[in-house]
Copies of this chain bind each other. A is one copy, B any other.
C-alpha cells in the first residue's frame, strides 16, 4: 500500500489528502463505531443526537428541535417515534399550544443518554489517544472554529447557510 506517488510538490501529495476525503472517512468510521455503541442503549445515532439536544437545549416545539439538529421536521417525527417506543422520551402536549408537543427525556432516557455518552466519549478518546495533548486541543479548537465558517465561496448572492445538514448514518 505504501505507494510513493511521484514527486509530491506543493499540493497534491498522497492519494487522498483533501479535507473532504479525510472528513468523510473519519466521520464514517466514527459513525459505524458509535452506531454500534448507542444501539446497546436502545437508540440510533440520530436518536442519540436528538436526545442530546432534548436534554441540553430543550425546545418548546418539534420544529425548533428539528432546526437545532439540522434535520427535516418529517424525519424528526420518525426519530422521536423510535425514541418514544424505546421509552427514552415523552411527547407531552403543550398546555399553552395544543398543536405543539413538548419533548422531554424520561428518567430512563436520561440514564441511557449518560451511558451512551460515556461510551461515545470513550470511542472518541481512544481515537485521539495517540495525539499529544497539545495536538488534541489544537485539533478540537480548529474543528470547532471551522464549523462556524461558511464554506461555499459566496460568489453571487448565494447564502452560505444552505447545505449543512449532515447525514449521520
Contact = CB atoms under 8 A, between A and B. Distances in A.
Interface of A: 1, 3, 5, 7, 11-34, 36, 45, 49, 52-53, 56-57, 68, 70, 117, 120-128, 130-131, 135, 138-149, 151-153, 162-168
Contact of A15 (B53, B124, B138, B167): B53
B12 A57 contact: yes
A33 B164 CA distance: 10
Contact of A138 (B30, B128, B135): B135
A96 B70 CA distance: 52
A121 B19 CA distance: 9
Contacts of A168: 20-21, 24
Helix, strand, loop or mixed for chain A's interface? Answer: helix
A164 B18 contact: no
Nearest to A142: B139
Contact of A124 (B19, B29, B120, B130): B19
Nearest to A19: B124
Can you list the 3 inter-chain pairs with the closest CB atoms, starting with the nearest? Answer: A32-B163, A24-B166, A23-B27
B22 A143 contact: yes
Given A163-B28, A166-B27, A142 B151 contact: no
A57 B5 CA distance: 8
Given A163-B29, A166-B25, A130 B145 contact: yes
Given A31-B163, A126-B153, A139-B139, 9 more contacts: A5-B56, A5-B121, A24-B27, A25-B147, A27-B27, A29-B164, A128-B146, A130-B145, A167-B167
